[in-house]
Amino acid sequence: KQEVTQIPAALSVPEGENLVLNCSFTDSAIYNLQWFRQDPGKGLTSLLLIQSSQREQTSGRLNASLDKSSGRSTLYIAASQPGDSATYLCAVAPALDGGFKTIFGAGTRLFVKA
Amino acid sequence: ETGVTQSPTHLIKTRGQQVTLRCSSQSGHNTVSWYQQALGQGPQFIFQYYREEENGRGNFPPRFSGLQFPNYSSELNVNALELDDSALYLCASSSEGFWLANQETQYFGPGTRLLVL
């Protein structure tokens, strides 16, 4: 059974700091891994999607890596800003079950202090 | 904005009642998934509908049911509400490419927050 774990559960950093969020998953048979952002009481916004054949994806100040063999992904945020404060969720699409039963981690709650 | 809307935004029900939540997908998206997100947790997959048929289901009892309509709208129905059903319910729409090729993302609505007393 696929399980997704995110560490740390919460993080508070000063503005301008570079930071890394971690995600681990127990079964390497995945179609893709995705990072989402969720603002309080809101829906999810997709940040980056990494296909199983890819190693990383970049968008602006965000870089996500994927190591399927070790069951790990990291989300790197450069030069953090107060507007980055949100919960960041990691989600995998397991290859079993057709890949659409997306499984989410519990998230990392990030607070960037001005 | 993702183009996915949900109604109502908030809802209060009592235990044993029934509730219907609604979602309007992006135009052209024939796949909709529903998720339950308890406080402090990640979303849990409830089920997915593709072209008006249930396409897969997570670990939720039959009192959770759904419908998808040709006009890109869908419903989540929950019967015999329990206190543990209190959560944020999210719908996510995607095109056929999402599950055929796993190349595309899902687009999430803002959610409906359900409180069961």
Nearest beta carbon to residue B43 from set A45, A98, A104: A104
In this structure, are residues A86 and A25 in contact, taking their beta carbons and an 8 Å threshold?
no
Q: How far apart are CA B23 and CA B74, in angstroms?
A: 5
Q: Is A33 helix (H, G, I), strand (E, B) or coil?
A: strand
Q: What is the DSSP string of A40-90?
A: TTS-EEEEEEEETT-SEEEETTEEEEEETTTTEEEEEE-S--GGG-EEEEE
Residue A93 has pLDDT above 80, yes or no: yes
Q: Which residues of B have a CB under 8 Å from any CB of A?
A: 2, 4, 31, 33, 35, 40-45, 48, 55-56, 58, 88, 90, 92, 98-99, 102-111, 113
Give the pLDDT confidence of A44-87 residue by residue, as tens digits: 999 999 988 999 999 999 999 999 999 999 999 999 999 999 99
Question: Looking at A37-51, A91-105, B38-52, B76-90, which range is the least confident one?
Answer: A91-105
Q: How far apart are CA A102 and CA A34, in angstroms?
A: 9
Q: Is the dihedral of CA B25, B29, B31, B36 positive or negative?
A: negative
Kindly give, in sequence order, each residue whose CB lies less than 8 Å from that of residue B1, ignoring residues fewer than 6 positions away: none
Residue B18 has pLDDT above 60, yes or no: yes
